[in-house]
Amino acid sequence: MPQNNRIYLSSPHMGGTEQNYIKEAFDTNWIAPLGANVDAFEATIASYCNVRHAAALSSGSAAIHLALIILGVKTGDEVIASSFTFVATINPIVYLGATPILIDSEPETWNMSPELLEYAIKDRLLKGKKPKAIIPVHLYGMPADMSKIMEIANHYDIPVIEDAAEALGSRYDNKPAGCFGKMGVLSFNGNKIITTSGGGALISNDEELIIKARFLATQAREVAPHYQHNQIGYNYRMSNVLAGIGRGQMEVIEERVKRRRDNYFFYQKHLGKYDGIKFRDEPNELYFSNHWLTKILIDPSKTGINREDMQEELEKENIETRPLWKPMHLQPIFSYCPAYLNGVSQELFANGLCLPSGSNMSDSDRMRILDALKVILEISSRRVINSLKVLRAINALNELNEINAVKHINDLNDQKDINAINAINAINAKNKIAAKNAKKSKNAIKSKNAIIT
């Protein structure tokens, strides 16, 4: 069993003032889903995201659900969404009886492909179905190409709900993620860049939309001297206690973004030199990612190890990693959904791994992860090199080129690759027996011909 302390993928990181706001909630007895902390947290979120209004909610999923309801999505409708995402992006569409229309990724950002988005819209229109909304995702903090997506959405008059659950602190064209569409969605789950333990927010420049969201999130209770309900509501508001955590977290948001980005550049500096390891950089100066999680793509043909085996090796060192999201079009539950694909997200899922990225990782934690990765990669790369030497030795033996075969075997002796040497010796022995038998057969034929003569 590993003796080292566990290094988590992305654990909560408190700033130090959160308990002051929690104490304030207790001291004033505002423990319910309203109060001074909720109001202040909403104002801070709105200001930071460069929008006028925000509703603090129980989760990012709740925010997407309410946004879809507000846009009038109902049974039989279609909603376009990124396929390469966490399931929480898609589930609320199904809550409402609508059908998700799944769009594959572009290689530049790994987010929704604008080209496939427009193709899908045209195709759905030809089939007589105009999508009710588009939900692009800013995956792992990398902004989507919002210029092209908004241009397409505006052209076809389809509202956009930005899933910025992973992208607080990210910017596109110097504007915060989440502020481009009709509504934006944030998440404050325990593993996000800031957390309220559990929570989310819906943001918008349209006050009426946020008023409607708050109304629906408090069981749709009408203004009346009694409990009056004219439509279905939900228990989706954030508590004043959790909002207090959020207020403290927002005081350190820039520090958290900086540290996450530092983690990314640390990994890139030390691992980027390995053949077969790739990072997802910001495509150009328009993009600023919070690098919520650092991801690598692993080419097994060059590294000698695949994503799954690397994850297992790091787990042996008590280091938590995760594969990239499995695309929604590959999920059994969404197999019925129309999907517009180019193969990008499937390849990313097959080869991608998220590395520990918490803002509370120490420098020694980062070095421990790096040392483990270096050992894994160097051992694996030697296997690749030795495999090539084995192939060369086998080819030389098969060509009866004993001089080259001996050279390659000596190289393997230097590497002390006993298994490879044994394999080659077995092939060599087999070839010698075959050659001996061939010689016997040839001599027998000669003898037979001599007798006949």
User: Which CATH number do you get for residue 358?
Assistant: 3.90.1150.10
pLDDT at 428: 55
Are 235 and 291 contained in the same domain? no
Residue 228 makes CB contacts below 8 A (sequence gap 6+) with: 221, 222
pLDDT at 398: 55
Are 157 and 183 contained in the same domain? yes
User: What are the tokens at 125?
Assistant: 């229109």
Under the banding of pLDDT at 50, 70 and 90, the label for residue 102 is: very high
pLDDT of 409 above 90:
no
pLDDT of 357 above 80:
yes
pLDDT at 9: 98
57 found inside a domain: yes
12 found inside a domain: no
Are 213 and 281 contained in the same domain? no
Give yes or no for a contact between 86 and 164, defined as CB atoms under 8 angstroms apart: no
The reported pTM is 0.85
pLDDT of 400 above 60:
no
Q: Provide the mean pLDDT of the chain.
A: 90
Give yes or no for a contact between 183 and 46, defined as CB atoms under 8 angstroms apart: no
- Total of domains in the chain: 3
Under the banding of pLDDT at 50, 70 and 90, the label for residue 133 is: very high
Residue 37 belongs to domain with CATH number: 3.40.640.10
The least confident of 83-97, 101-115, 132-146, 374-388 is 374-388
Q: What is the pLDDT of residues 303-340, one digit of tens each?
A: 999 999 999 999 999 999 999 999 999 999 999 999 99
Under the banding of pLDDT at 50, 70 and 90, the label for residue 380 is: confident
pLDDT of 237 above 90:
yes
Are 92 and 137 contained in the same domain? yes
Under the banding of pLDDT at 50, 70 and 90, the label for residue 219 is: very high
Are 336 and 428 contained in the same domain? no
Residue 88 makes CB contacts below 8 A (sequence gap 6+) with: 59, 60, 61, 64, 165
10 found inside a domain: no
Q: What is the pLDDT of residues 179-212, one digit of tens each?
A: 999 999 999 999 999 999 999 999 999 999 999 9
Percentage above 90 pLDDT, the chain = 82
Alpha helices in 75-206 (DSSP H): 91-95, 114-126, 146-155
pLDDT of 396 above 60:
no
Are 236 and 264 contained in the same domain? no
φ, ψ of residue 112 to 5 degrees: the values are: -50, 130
Element (H, E) at 294: strand 294-298
Q: Rounded mean pLDDT of 23-27?
A: 96
1 found inside a domain: no
Are 117 and 230 contained in the same domain? yes
Higher-confidence position of 416 and 284:
284
Question: How deeply is 45 buried, as exposed, middle or buried, from its count of CB atoms within 10 A (0-12, 13-18, 19+)?
Answer: buried
6 found inside a domain: no
Are 292 and 423 contained in the same domain? no
Please spell the DSSP secondary structure of 339-389, one letter per residue.
EE--SHHHHHHHHEEEEP--TT--HHHHHHHHHHHHHHHHHHHHHHHHHHH
Give yes or no for a contact between 339 and 331, defined as CB atoms under 8 angstroms apart: no
pLDDT at 32: 84
Q: What is the DSSP letter of 127?
A: T
359 found inside a domain: yes
Choose one of 326, 348, 380: the last residue of a domain: 380
Q: What is the distance between the alpha carbons of residues 395 and 400, in angstroms, rounded to a whole number? A: 8
Choose one of 252, 273, 302: the last residue of a domain: 252
Residue 58 makes CB contacts below 8 A (sequence gap 6+) with: 198, 199, 200, 217, 235, 236, 237, 238
Q: What SS3 class is residue 265?
A: helix
Are 232 and 305 contained in the same domain? no
pLDDT at 355: 98
Q: What is the pLDDT of residues 247-297, one digit of tens each?
A: 999 999 999 999 999 999 999 999 999 999 999 999 999 999 999 999 999
Residue 181 makes CB contacts below 8 A (sequence gap 6+) with: 134, 136, 150, 153, 159, 160, 161, 162
240-260: b or e for each residue (b if 16 or more CB lie within 10 Å)? bbbbbbbbbbbebbeebbebb
Are 122 and 226 contained in the same domain? yes
52 found inside a domain: yes
Q: Residue holding tokens 């990314």?
A: 264
pLDDT at 388: 46
Q: How many CB atoms lie within 10 A of CB 232?
A: 9
Are 220 and 260 contained in the same domain? no
Choose one of 192, 221, 252: the last residue of a domain: 252
pLDDT of 415 above 80:
no
* Domain limits for position 102: 18-252
Are 296 and 219 contained in the same domain? no
9 found inside a domain: no
pLDDT at 399: 54
